[in-house]
Amino acid sequence: MQSPKLINGDLVFENYELVMVEEVEELAQCCEIVLGTNRGEWFLNPSMGIDFKKVTGKHISLEAAKQQIREGLRQESRISSVDEIIVRPDDKRRTCDVSFVAYSTDGERINMGVIPGVG
């Protein structure tokens, strides 16, 4: 699959040409979009995304945050397994840094970090 490359939700252009992503990079971008969408926010698919209340604010529950990340990644049909989720809360910023390792249905490894609710 091929999609336009996005950085912080904005299309990326190089030399006046739209940059496209494909394969693992495209799948990772789709995961980032799901984790950056507050459930109920997108009117065309209200069930898409995660519950930002469980991954932002002070005193985040690590287990609740991990569960939201896992549920979000399961929304992407090309993810076959989520092997590791690390949540590092930051009470000062009232958010958390999340990194995870997941595998696609093609066996490709996706290893990335995101900050849910930011960007």
- pLDDT of residue 117 exceeding 70: no
Residue 116, amino acid: P
User: Which pair of structure tokens corresponds to residue 36?
Assistant: 């950056």
**Structural domains of the chain, count:** 1
Q: What are phi and psi of 82, to 5 degrees?
A: -120, 110
* pLDDT of 107 over the 90 cut: yes
49 sits in the region (left: phi over 0; alpha: psi -120 to 50; else beta) called left
Kindly report the CATH number assigned to the domain that includes residue 53.
3.10.450.40
Q: What is the pLDDT of residue 118?
A: 55
Q: What is the pLDDT of residues 52-106, one digit of tens each?
A: 999 998 888 999 999 999 999 999 999 999 999 999 988 888 888 999 999 999 9
Residue 70 lies in a domain: yes
> Which residues are 79's β-sheet partners?
104
Could you tell me the end-to-end alpha-carbon distance of the chain, in angstroms, rounded to an integer?
24
